[in-house]
Structure formats: structure tokens, C-alpha cells
Amino acid sequence: MKSALVTGVTGQDGSYLSELLLKEGYRVTGLKRRTSINNFERLTKVIHHENFTLVEGEVSDSGCVYDLVNKYQPDEIYNLAAQSHVGTSFSQPDYTFQVNTLGPLHFLEAIRRFSSNTKFYQASTSEMFGKNYTVEGESKFQDENTPLAPQSPYAVAKVAAHHLVRIYREAYDIFGCCGILFNHESERRGENFVTRKITKWLAEFSVWLSRHDLSHDSPSLVFDTDEIYIGGRTSTAQGFQFPKLRLGNLDSCRDWGHAKDYVRGMWMMMQHETPDDYVIATGETHSIREFLDEAFSLIDIYSWENYIVIDPEFYRPAEVDYLLGCPIKVKKALDWNTKIDFKNLVSSMVQSDIDGTQKLE
Ligand code: NDP
Ligand code: GDR
């Protein structure tokens, strides 16, 4: 039986990857950091599985990582743990580096010292490209050859880790792969990423409307929380008004796929004969505005502008404007493909949030 250690197991990707590995017959050890209260919401499908074990650990603590790798000597390590919010990395750059750069370095060193046959997967990111893209004829895209030009502390920390994996691969012959994954979302996406923030708001608004038996397309039903606050009211839904959705920059474009498809890509990379780095993306890009068009249309609202407030708080000091990944290498080498397209991604997220909100009512 193959064994795998998955860091960041309580996160979106960690939970889907654990399900996949258990299905593939692995014994899975999931690493979670200490929290004052358990956060196993995403692990309901695996937590009671006989081949799944949770261990507590902190990736920025070298001694902790060395002990874990030495003790378990897993066949494969998937390092998904990270401070994964780009916006937060501007206010917590030091912490972001400790987790996102020192974390992977500790695993590489541990493998070199104690477990040289362990394969290593590092969660690299399209954020590493920053404002850069490759131009070919009419098309603008990023692939494995596009130069990296990170635009945030998060991205710089990930670039450092990306190069460390390459260096350990070349210098010490460690089987290390980096998946350069473009944005991937799901019903389990963290609630402060833009897609889930939108679908969660939509679900709560939609359920609130049906509870009050109100029509769906009436902008007078929503209020700007700031104005109401000045008026002495709270920012929660009350009476016959609901707080508007507050967002930042709507013009950036992202290549959004479904996390289930992307964790399959991670695993496929690790089964290949030789370690390598691959872009994982859909090859399609959409602006935040297009995501709003698609999501709001699912609850029969076609002029979403009336329901949102542009709030400078959600703008970033530096932005990545355009991401469109070219996944040709991974398609050719690993026969990887997506199964869930943009429309299905948005509708499954909206539906799942509506179901979740109704259960809470
Ligand atoms: P999440 O934010 O959902 O999950 C991150 C996980 O890391 C959580 O389990 C979190 O624990 C854990 N973690 C954070 N800090 C530490 C720490 N110091 N020690 C141990 N564990 C820690 O991210 P995703 O699942 O979306 O992403 C997985 C990885 O892929 C990340 O590295 C991310 O940067 C990268 N990535 C993600 C993309 C995406 O679009 N989703 C695209 C490209 C790369 P807790 O639950 O306690 O917070
Ligand atoms: P991103 O995802 O930064 O691409 O990083 P996020 O969903 O946070 O932002 C996408 C774009 O939406 C704009 N935006 C907002 N973003 C957030 N979070 N909240 C808002 O209110 C809002 N309004 C507009 C952002 O400015 C940005 O342009 C994700 C993470 O999963 C990373 O870990 C991963 O590496 C990359 O995707 C690929």
C-alpha cells in the first residue's frame, strides 16, 4: 500500500486530494496545524476512513517537519499548506514567507536528510507570473516558459519555493514536482476568495428573498452597509432590506477551474516517470464581471451592478490583471483534462451555497 503525507489537509485542495488518494488505495496522513477549535468541515468524507490519519504539525517549524518525515517516510508528500490569500500577504508578508517558503524548504531538507526516496509535490501558482504573459499571434497566455514576475509577497514566497524545488531536484536528485496551478474553486472554496464570496452572498440573499416572498429583481431591497451604519442600524440583514455585496477590482481576469480536476493533475504528475513542473489550467479566462453575470443570472438577476458596492478595502496595493493558462504540456505528457467547465463550476457553487443556507434557516 502506497503512503502519502498531505499538508494543508483541512483546506480546499487537501480535502479533495485526500479523497482521491484514498480511492487510489493509499494510506493517507493529513497534516493539520493546531487550532483552538477543530476545523474538519471539509474532511467529512475521509475522517473516519480506516486508511486516513490526522496528525498535528506546523510547516514553519523545521524540527516538527523533520520529525514527521523521519517518522512516516511516506512515498509521496503533497505540500499544500500555505497562507494562501494574496491580499492578506500584503498585511502579513513575514508570516507568509515563513509558511510559504520556509515550509517547503523544511520538507525538501527533511527528504534530503532522512527519506531520499520520498517524492515531493509543491503547490506553485499562476500568481508567480504576475503581470507577465506570452504573446503568440492574437493570443496572450502563460505557460511553463513565461518568465515569472511576482506582484505580491505571496507570489514572491511561492517563486522562492518553486526555485528551491528545482534546485533540490537538480542538486540532490530528489523527485520534486511543481504544479503551476491557475485559480481553482469549488463548493469548498474559502469564503474570502472572490468566487465564493459572491456565491455565498447570492445564496443568502436568494434564501432571504424567498423567506420574505419577495421578487428577485428589485434593487430597493438592498442597502449599502456604510449608509445604514451611519443611520445607526447594523450591517446584518433585517427588515425588508439586505446588505449589498462589497467587492474590489472587478476588471481582473482569471482562468478558473474546479479543484476536483486540479487535484487529479497533482497526483498524475507524481505518477510520471520523471519529475517536472506543469501548468494546470482550463485555457479560458473570465473577468470578475463575467463571473458576476453568470452567478447572478442563476437567481434571475441581470443587472447585478445595483446589488454591489465597490469598496477600496478590497483593492490590492498591486494587482495581477490577466491570467490565462496554456495547459498543453500537461495534456500531452499526462493526458490530463478538465471535466467541469466554467458554467458548471459557477452553478455548482451557487447551488451548494443555497442548499447550505437553507439547511441553516
Ligand atoms: P486553503 O487556504 O483552502 O488551504 C490552505 C491549508 O494550509 C489549510 O489547511 C490551512 O490550515 C493550512 N495551513 C496554513 N498555514 C499553515 C501552517 N503554518 N502550518 C500547517 N498548515 C497550514 O488553500 P487551497 O486548498 O485553495 O490551496 C492549496 C495550496 O495550493 C496552497 O498552497 C495555495 O497557495 C496553492 N494554490 C491554490 C490555488 C487555488 O486557486 N486554490 C491556485 C494555485 C496554488 P487551516 O485550515 O487551519 O487554515
Ligand atoms: P487570487 O484569488 O488573488 O487570484 O488568488 P481571489 O479570489 O482572492 O482574487 C481574484 C481577483 O478578484 C479580485 N477581487 C477580490 N478578491 C477578493 N478576495 N475579495 C474581493 O472582495 C474582491 N473583489 C475583487 C482580486 O483583486 C483578484 O484580482 C487565488 C488564491 O487561491 C491563491 O492562493 C492562488 O495561488 C491563486 O488564486 C492562483
CATH of the domain at 91: 3.40.50.720
What is the structure's pLDDT at 241? 80
Reported as a single tens digit per residue, the pLDDT across 242-300 is 899 999 999 999 999 999 999 999 999 999 999 999 999 999 999 999 999 999 999 99
Q: Is 35 assigned a catalytic role?
A: no
Reported as a single tens digit per residue, the pLDDT across 62-111 is 999 999 999 999 999 999 999 999 999 999 999 999 999 999 999 999 99
345 within some domain = no
Average pLDDT over the chain, rounded to whole? 94
115 in the same domain as 149: yes
Q: Is 125 assigned a catalytic role?
A: yes
102 within some domain = yes
Q: Provide the domain limits for residue 305.
A: 194-250+289-315+352-360
- Which atom of ligand 1 is found nearest the CA of 39? 46
Q: How confident is the model at residue 208 (pLDDT cuts 50, 70, 90)?
A: confident
Q: Is the CB of 285 under 6 A from ligand 2?
A: no
**CA distance readout (Å), 247 to 37, 84, 193, 203, 310:** 29, 19, 11, 16, 5
Report d(CA 102, CA 116) in Å as an integer: 19
Identify the CA nearest to 64 among candidates 24, 132, 110, 5.
110
302 in the same domain as 162: no
263 in the same domain as 216: no
109 within some domain = yes
Q: Which residue of 193, 195, 197, 282 sits with most ligand 2 atoms within 8 Å of its CB, as the best mutation to test the pocket? A: 193
Distance in Å, CA 74 to ligand 2 centroid: 33
272 in the same domain as 232: no
210 in the same domain as 117: no
119 within some domain = yes
What is the structure's pLDDT at 240? 67
Query: Dihedral sign, CA of 51, 54, 60, 62?
Result: negative
264 in the same domain as 218: no
What is the structure's pLDDT at 235? 43
242 in the same domain as 143: no
Report d(CA 318, CA 14) in Å as an integer: 28
Is residue 9's pLDDT more than 60? yes
57 in the same domain as 143: yes
Is residue 229's pLDDT more than 70? no
Q: What is the mean pLDDT of residues 201-207?
A: 94
347 within some domain = no
104 within some domain = yes
Q: Name the closest-CA residue to atom 23, ligand 2.
A: 248
Place of cell 420574505: 212
153 in the same domain as 302: no
346 within some domain = no
36 in the same domain as 134: yes
211 in the same domain as 294: yes
Q: What is the mean pLDDT of residues 301-307?
A: 94
Q: Name the closest-CA residue to atom 5, ligand 2.
A: 86
- DSSP assignments along 92-140, one per residue: -HHHHHIIIIIHHHHHHHHHHHH-TT-EEEEEEEGGGGTT--EEETTEE
273 in the same domain as 299: no
What is the structure's pLDDT at 233? 38
Q: Which residue of 12, 86, 225, 313 sits with most ligand 2 atoms within 8 Å of its CB, as the best mutation to test the pocket? A: 86
What is the structure's pLDDT at 239? 56
Instruction: Specify the number of domains making up the chain.
Output: 2
- Residues whose beta carbon lies within 6 Å of some atom of ligand 1: 7-8, 10-14, 33, 35, 39, 58-60, 80-84, 99, 123, 125, 181, 183-184, 190
169 within some domain = yes
